[in-house]
Amino acid sequence: MSNVSSRAEAFWWSVSRIAEATGMDRRTVTRRIAEAGVPPADERRGHPVYELRRVLPVLYAEALARPGTSPDDMLPTDRRAWFQSENERIRLEKELRQLLPAHDVAREMAQMARQFTNSLETIPDLLERDCGLDPRQVDTVFEVLDTVRDYLHQVMAEDLDTENEAEK
């Protein structure tokens, strides 16, 4: 056993000892220490020793889930806990009616679109009857409304295509 001159030096460990204590491979410990740029505290028998309080956070930083971290990057136990919490969140949002099934939303949007286009179709008749537009002006209104209707159809179709691509 080496001589320890202070209590702090008792926690200056070699890569081999750190690897043995953490159950990690020596190469992994060495790589993570080098990537983080942790300087050696000293040298013993020609090998660097590191302060545990500086090395341990570096070694386990990848294992800790941070907000925005992909579940694919998590440890299996953390991933399982994350999916369970997401399932609970979804269940709660459904109960509170903050999350609606996609088919309900699609049905409501289709109904709104039908009502809107039906309203558009009555505008030329109302303008002819109430405002006294002549047939040529009514035809112009029809053309403009047809253009608006086609544009709305195009936008809705593009949104649907985008959603379908995102699901793939």
Q: Is 85 exposed, middle or buried (0-12, 13-18, 19+ CB in 10 A)?
A: exposed
Q: Which domain holds residue 137?
A: 102-167
Model confidence band, residue 66 (pLDDT cutoffs 50, 70, 90): low
Give yes or no for residue 64 having a pLDDT over 60. Answer: no
User: How far is it, in rounded angstroms, from Cα 92 to Cα 96?
Assistant: 6
Q: Do residue 117 and residue 72 come from a single domain?
A: no
Q: Do residue 93 and residue 148 come from a single domain?
A: no
Q: Do residue 95 and residue 118 come from a single domain?
A: no
User: How far is it, in rounded angstroms, from Cα 127 to Cα 120?
Assistant: 12
Pairing of strands 47-51, 42-44: antiparallel
pLDDT at residue number 48: 93
pLDDT digits (tens, 9 = 90+) for 26-38: 999 999 999 889 9
For the record, the structure tokens of 128 come out as 């002819």
Residue 93 counted as domain residue: yes
pLDDT at residue number 62: 62
Residue 2 counted as domain residue: no
AA letter at 46: G
Residue 113 counted as domain residue: yes
pLDDT at residue number 65: 47
Task: Give the predicted TM-score (pTM) of the model.
Answer: 0.43
Tokens 């029809």 identify what position? 142
Q: Do residue 56 and residue 71 come from a single domain?
A: no
Number of structural domains the chain divides into: 3
Residue 155 counted as domain residue: yes
Residue 35 counted as domain residue: yes
pLDDT digits (tens, 9 = 90+) for 86-142: 999 999 988 888 888 888 888 998 899 889 888 888 999 899 899 998 999 999 999
Residue 4 counted as domain residue: no
Torsion angle, CA of 77/81/86/88, rounded to 10 degrees? 150
Question: Average pLDDT for residues 11-22, to the nearest whole number?
Answer: 90
For the record, the structure tokens of 144 come out as 């403009």
Q: Do residue 159 and residue 107 come from a single domain?
A: yes
Taking a C-beta distance cutoff of 8 angstroms, is the pair 19, 25 a contact?
yes
> Quick check: helix, strand or coil at residue 18?
helix
Residue 1 counted as domain residue: no
